[in-house]
Chains A and B, each alone.
Chain A
Amino acid sequence: MSSDSSSGGSGISSPPGRRGLIAFAWVWVGVPLAYGLYELVQKATQLFTG
């Protein structure tokens, strides 16, 4: 996730000041998604064990 550009496109690398914000934003959405995936895997295993 290093490339960025304020105008879109595949452009230039991300300034260090934004990296903390990028990490925070991805953790914000990543943690609930990981919880959902964990619950899903728990349930899906029932197909093979149930």
Chain B
Amino acid sequence: MSPPVAPPGWSRWLVPPAALSVHLSIGQAYAWSVFKPPLESALGLSGTQSALPFQLGIVMLGLSAAFGGTLVERNGPRWAMTVALICFSSGFLLSALGAATEQYWLIVFGYGFVGGIGLGIGYISPVSTLIKWFPDRPGMATGIAIMGFGGGALIASPWSAQMLESFGSDSSGIALAFLVHGLSYAVFMLLGVLLVRVPRTEKPAGDDGPSAVDGPQVSARDAVRTPQFWCLWVVLCMNVTAGIGILEKAAPMITDFFANTSTPVSVSAAAGFVALLSAANMAGRIGWSSTSDLIGRKNIYRLYLGVGALMYGLIALAGDSSKPLFILCALVILSFYGGGFATIPAYLKDLFGTYQVGAIHGRLLTAWSTAGVLGPLIVNWIADRQEEAGKDGASLYTLSMFIMIGLLAVGFVANELVRPVHPRHHIPAPASKEKEAADVQRQQ
């Protein structure tokens, strides 16, 4: 499939909603937990078993983003969004069949494997295109899309819950809910497929703004051989580890923290805290990423990692003495977590250019997969050991907080080590521009 090149007069403001239609859909993955209790009771599954589709989905997200990035760059965003639509929607349809026939392996395969490919390809599909459309504000542009991934769970969580309530939580009710999800997301994502356009390479008369192909360009194959790529890998991994450590255990953490105080946190208040963290995560994606266009990518990561460490320090030192301080610090950390995700494509563009930035971004997302294991592992393992040692309340998490500070410090140093890419990795400027122009001509 050839990605259509924008006709003269095509508005670049049509591209963010195209990206959002994909990201708001695939962000549903974070609302998988809504299906867990009904699946467990309908199919007699354990908690570990019912988490399998989500876990496989996240693994496939990382793998397909890492290995499919070059294909996405070669075939363009419309091809990628079509693949994402087909895989994500088919995943639900296979799951519907699995629930209707009570074949759980089909749900794992459908939602986890097939749908997971849709997650990975869908996640990276608009990044490169958005950066090319918004070379003057790449942070804001990718922030809008990646905010959508956070927003997807906000939509899916109440929507799926209401659907299960209407259809019933038995296997036929779950099957019907999966079916409606698959069809609805296919229609919703279709907007992205129809609207997405790649920009023309030549600039119109009177446009003095930066061009998408200005500056040095580095191929994905060369990018992974540079220290800059691995410094950013460490930066992303450490930032995500620090955020996910809180996010994954937010409700029990705030409950444990203030269990021994005169104002313990109720179950519903803890749920409210989790919702507030989601809001901070989303706001950070668009807010901090847009700010990076003004203050620079290196400076914004200094903020995420440096102030993030400070926030963890405040939580550790204040303990259970101040609930507002705990909540404020957690919100700031989660906003940095979201901001870190959303700003990284623009950082990659600054260092490696737009030539294969989507493919490079896909490879960098392996840092996310690593952090997804590392963050919860640190917090849960330490909390369990502290509990075994007879500790309770805030002291269950103090050691985790100091470890997070250490990890953020490692990320801070890695960010400081980022320098412009050595010219030996650059594609010769005329060659890269000719290559992009040839790509566009081929697409026309």
Residues of A that sit less than 8 Å from B by CB: 1, 3-12, 14-15, 17-18, 21-22, 25-26, 28-29, 32-33, 35-37, 39-41, 43-50
Contacts of B272 in A (CB 8 A): 43-50
Contacts of B267 in A (CB 8 A): 50
Contacts of B14 in A (CB 8 A): 18, 21-22, 25
Interface status of B44 (Cβ within 8 A of chain A): no
Q: How many residues of B contact A (CB 8 A)?
A: 53
- Distance (whole angstroms) from the CB of B254 to the closest CB of chain A: 9
Kindly state the separation between the CA atoms of A22 and B13 in the bound complex, as whole angstroms.
7
Kindly state the separation between the CA atoms of A28 and B8 in the bound complex, as whole angstroms.
24
State the majority secondary structure of interface residues on A.
helix
Are A4 and B155 in contact (CB-based, < 8 A)?
A: no
A12 contact from B148, B159, B206, B211, Cβ within 8 A: B206
B211 contact from A9, A17, A36, Cβ within 8 A: A9
Kindly state the separation between the CA atoms of A17 and B7 in the bound complex, as whole angstroms.
13
Kindly state the separation between the CA atoms of A17 and B9 in the bound complex, as whole angstroms.
9
A47 contact from B8, B24, B276, Cβ within 8 A: B276
Kindly state the separation between the CA atoms of A28 and B20 in the bound complex, as whole angstroms.
10
B157 contact from A5, A25, A39, Cβ within 8 A: A39
Are A29 and B20 in contact (CB-based, < 8 A)?
A: yes
Contacts of A47 in B (CB 8 A): 269, 272-273, 275-276, 327
* Contacts of B120-146 to chain A: CB distance below 8 A: 132-136
Kindly state the separation between the CA atoms of A32 and B146 in the bound complex, as whole angstroms.
16
Kindly state the separation between the CA atoms of A32 and B153 in the bound complex, as whole angstroms.
11
Kindly state the separation between the CA atoms of A7 and B270 in the bound complex, as whole angstroms.
48
Kindly state the separation between the CA atoms of A30 and B155 in the bound complex, as whole angstroms.
11
- Distance (whole angstroms) from the CB of A12 to the closest CB of chain B: 6
B12 contact from A5, A35, A39, Cβ within 8 A: A5
Q: A8-B135, A32-B155, A39-B154 are in contact. List 4 more A-B contacts (CB 8 A).
A: A4-B12, A7-B200, A9-B203, A11-B207
B132 contact from A8, A39, A40, Cβ within 8 A: A8
Kindly state the separation between the CA atoms of A10 and B278 in the bound complex, as whole angstroms.
32
Are A37 and B154 in contact (CB-based, < 8 A)?
A: yes
Are A6 and B20 in contact (CB-based, < 8 A)?
A: no
A29 contact from B24, B157, B268, Cβ within 8 A: B24
Are A9 and B136 in contact (CB-based, < 8 A)?
A: yes
- Distance (whole angstroms) from the CB of B291 to the closest CB of chain A: 18
Are A35 and B202 in contact (CB-based, < 8 A)?
A: no
Given contacts A18-B9, A50-B266, contact A5 B207 (CB under 8 A): yes
Kindly state the separation between the CA atoms of A44 and B11 in the bound complex, as whole angstroms.
36
Kindly state the separation between the CA atoms of A29 and B151 in the bound complex, as whole angstroms.
11
- Distance (whole angstroms) from the CB of B191 to the closest CB of chain A: 5
Contacts of B67 in A (CB 8 A): none
Kindly state the separation between the CA atoms of A5 and B188 in the bound complex, as whole angstroms.
26
B204 contact from A11, A25, A41, Cβ within 8 A: A11
- Distance (whole angstroms) from the CB of B335 to the closest CB of chain A: 14
Given contacts A32-B24, A44-B272, A47-B272, contact A9 B154 (CB under 8 A): no
Kindly state the separation between the CA atoms of A36 and B23 in the bound complex, as whole angstroms.
14
Contacts of A43 in B (CB 8 A): 271-272, 275
Kindly state the separation between the CA atoms of A12 and B211 in the bound complex, as whole angstroms.
14
* Contacts of B14-33 to chain A: CB distance below 8 A: 14, 17-18, 20-21, 24
- Distance (whole angstroms) from the CB of B380 to the closest CB of chain A: 23
Contacts of A1 in B (CB 8 A): 13
- Distance (whole angstroms) from the CB of A14 to the closest CB of chain B: 5
Are A7 and B202 in contact (CB-based, < 8 A)?
A: yes
**B11, B24, B155, B273 interface centre (most CB from chain A within 10 Å):** B11
7 residue pairs, one from A and one from B, having the closest CB atoms: A47-B272, A36-B154, A10-B209, A46-B272, A50-B268, A50-B269, A9-B209
User: 13 A–B contact pairs at CB < 8 A?
Assistant: A7-B207, A18-B9, A18-B11, A22-B17, A25-B14, A25-B17, A25-B195, A33-B24, A33-B148, A33-B151, A35-B158, A46-B272, A50-B272
Are A4 and B10 in contact (CB-based, < 8 A)?
A: yes
- Distance (whole angstroms) from the CB of A20 to the closest CB of chain B: 11
- Distance (whole angstroms) from the CB of B354 to the closest CB of chain A: 9
Interface status of B6 (Cβ within 8 A of chain A): yes
Contacts of B8 in A (CB 8 A): 6
Are B135 and A9 in contact (CB-based, < 8 A)?
A: yes
Contacts of A5 in B (CB 8 A): 12, 199, 203-204, 207, 209
